[in-house]
């Protein structure tokens, strides 16, 4: 909690949203469906997404094999970056995901 207060909640929120923006851009490039609401006032630090064709369990296994761990909720893959995550971790996630583009 002390570290969060030192960083400032506004800075932490900006950092988390920047990581999510990076993930959203990469996921869209790969052809993934973004499930989380993205409208003003609807966004949060949680980002849910899915591949249009591949089963979630298969994707989770691929990611786990690559050392990327995330949650599955309601049939979607879900990330929730925090202040201690960085853009390199988002890049690692994106690199481990198979493209949905033919």
Mean pLDDT per 10-residue interval, the chain, length 102 residues = 83 96 98 96 96 95 94 97 96 96 76
State the pTM of this model: 0.91
Q: Which of these, 16, 76, 79, 14, lies nearest to 50 by C-alpha position? A: 76
Sequence ranges of the domains in the chain: 2-96
Its CATH architecture, for the domain 2-96, is: Alpha-Beta Complex (3.90)
Residue 93's pLDDT is 97
- Give the pLDDT score at 72: 96
Quote the pLDDT of residue 87. Answer: 98
């Amino acid at each position: 909690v002390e570290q969060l207060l030192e960083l400032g909640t506004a800075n932490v929120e900006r950092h988390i949203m920047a990581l999510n923006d990076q993930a959203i851009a990469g996921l869209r490039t790969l052809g993934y469906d973004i499930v989380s609401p993205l409208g003003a006032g609807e966004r949060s630090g949680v980002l849910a997404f899915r591949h249009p064709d591949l089963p979630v369990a298969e994707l989770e296994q691929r990611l786990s094999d690559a050392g990327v761990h995330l949650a599955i909720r309601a049939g979607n893959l879900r990330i929730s970056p925090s202040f201690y995550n960085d853009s390199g971790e988002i890049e690692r996630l994106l690199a481990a995901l198979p493209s949905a583009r033919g």
